[in-house]
Structure 1
């Protein structure tokens, strides 16, 4: 796999620099190992809290703690990723995560582990990971040429889909089999291995120079404001950021209420949920595998537009007949559409956003996308509780997604260029 660097000049142009080959494999390997580590630590703290307290409330709180940092630190993390050497940020994140995972193992091995200390360590560990993702996106843009980014994005989406499908089962079984202490030590080892692979990356010296001269912490506020201006000054990126958040609102109306629907409404046994999730995961893997071939033939903006329509088609199936079987079929289609949306959106954003600002743009988009998830979950919960057949839930989600489809079709996304215009500054959105 070839690698390139995109550095923006004063006129907004991009210069391609070819670093040594082979770094794409290292980057993907580090992402895989670090992602596995993420899934292990998601279960270590809840299992340990359950072991220490036996409280369902505290276990649920341990799970929620892992999501809080994405809201608190998400936007700041993007500024940091644009100010400093992104490869070094990834290494530091992995090594700090390894130290914290080891600390959890040490605390768990004590005679009387402190519940408060476990919560504190889990919160800090979760707070490290939001800094990793925008830095990873920046390194990806640097290390992978534009022509191959869709393939790397598809690969990372496949890893995410596979881990989302198998992670809850395998991760929980892994921690249960080894015990919290041993699992936490293994968790630390995964982060160390990821850091070593990132350390072996060879990136262009020009990229590191841009990171060193990007500013200091006192400039963070100005850099953050600049990132917001850049986001809204590129119409396709601005529209895409908002529409992805709206699509999450529609999707999580159903996604967050699948357990309730299958068990309480359809009266199926709990194992049926695993079947539904597995079918959805299979669709997501198929969509991720198909994405590079489609993006080789069509611009990412057009693929994104069609994928939003496919997502609506998936939501239409359970709206026509609310049942577990129809939900499984529809959510298989929805899973494939989600992968197409993610891969085409990441590829388009990477192609249009200047390298030195990609961290901020990624973090803003992620923060907005996360912000609509609890809203959609709450709306879906209210709807499914108010209608005996749950048809209202599926119809409402479908209507929201149809609105997203129409807005996507009418937006600049459908006609967005595959790369930034040469020697031009982005124009402000009217």
Structure 2
């Protein structure tokens, strides 16, 4: 799994993502908590989350075109600097709480541009063979680490060091990321001879690859179910598992699952066809969902969370590896943006659907509806994703 770390430039990219990701998760709890303490408004607090996701829907097409049109290395450095400047605005949040929404909005807009550029840049650094699956497994380690450490550490630092200290740390992590990415070597732009760089042309490339196109609905339903359950995790933890502390432990267990899923992702994505591996991982996630929402004992809930994190890591990483290997580099940024837009739309829809259904029909109905959606996602994957040979048997 560590094979991609032999590549110097990937080590720099991986370090940049790890450090900046940890800095962002330090504020994941602290920023909404600061707004709530300053305004005593649930609406204002909820708008912090809205400011985080809205740019993905509005700027996704632009971000995809930029990722395929300009030097990706420069784009990554520039967006990191912009994110550092946006977070620096939070130093004034004590006197103007609304600045949190502005800062998060700008940071999220820069992240929208950063993500497709990074996802398209990684195959250019490590290639599309075994090193790519290693790179995505290592990126899953980042997801698990920041989930495991970032939230609790941010909450602890908020109480001990204060909000400005967290802001300073996050600014520093983005600047570190910019320096690390700048230290990678320059690469030639993808060959665009005879190609077009519009977002619509990128969609046409996507349609030309049925396997990748099928991954959109297959993963979209999964993300919808995941978002609906995530939106209800806090009330679920309070009502059934013992309170906020138990909920925090469940989140940490999810991070442990992501760490465990990283080597499994590498194994599956290089040895199994995508349809059975993706459908199986989604089915296991659905089982984990069912266990989590129907138990009252915390140990059982923690086991369920580990299962969800492990299989969820495989679902997200396997899908990404397939389209990174399949789509030409000249269109990879735009296709990455399409998946980012679909993910944001499914996440927003699930975040609304879950609480609304809980309000109308009750918490038990809402969380078990999320379980059924997860089951439907596994079935949909088995139906719509076309068969493909195992990666080891496919042509070079």
CA contact (8 A) 2:143 2:255 kept: no
CA shift for structure 1 position 370: 1.8
Measure the CA separation in 2 of the matches of 1:100 and 1:226.
Answer: 32
TM-score by length of 2: 0.87
TM-score, normalisation: structure 1: 0.80
Q: Measure how far apart 1:193 and its partner are.
A: 1.3
* RMSD between aligned residues: 3.2
Q: More deviation in 39-48 or 346-355?
A: 39-48
The alignment status of 1:83 with 2:69, answered yes or no, reads yes
Q: Which structure has more helix as a fraction of its residues?
A: 2
From 132, 145, 151, give the equivalent of 1:168.
Answer: 151
Change (3 A) 1:21 1:260: closer
1:99 and 2:85 equivalent?
Answer: yes
Alignment of 1:117-136 (within 5 A): 117-136=99-118
Q: Which residue number in structure 1 is paired with residue 284 of structure 2?
A: 310
The number of residues matched between the two structures is 392
Q: Which has the larger radius of gyration?
A: 1
State the alpha-carbon separation in 1 of the partners of residues 314 and 99 from structure 2: 41
User: Deviations 1:199-249 (Å, cap 9, x if unpaired)?
Assistant: 111244xx33648x999xxx8xx6100111111221111110111111112
| CA deviation after TM superposition for structure 1 residue 301, in Å | 4.2
Separation (CA, whole Å) in 1 of partners of 2:289 and 2:158: 35
Once the two structures are superposed, what CA deviation does each residue of 1:79-118 show, in whole Å capped at 9, x if it has no partner?
A: 111111111100001112223333433x35xxx8344445
Q: Pick one of 208, 215, 222 that aligns with 1:247.
A: 222
Aligned to 1:194: 177
Structure 1 portions without partners, runs of 5+: 4-19, 424-430
| 1:338-381 deviation per Cα after TM superposition (whole angstroms, max 9, x unaligned) | 01111211111111011111111111112112212233233333
Matches within 5 A, 1:272-287: 272-287=246-261
Q: Which aligned runs of 4 or more in structure 1 are off by greater than 6 angstroms?
A: none
Deviations 1:121-166 (A, max 9, x none): 3322222111111111111010012211111111111211221233
The CA distance in 2 between the partners of 1:33 and 1:389, in whole Å, is 37
Change (3 A) 1:408 1:118: closer
Taking the aligned partners of 2:43 and 2:367, their CA distance within structure 1 comes to: 30
Question: Secondary structure, in 3 states, of the residue corresponding to 2:95?
Answer: coil
The match for 1:409 is 382
- 3-state DSSP of counterpart to 1:166: helix
Q: Which residue of structure 2 aligns with residue 12 of structure 1?
A: none
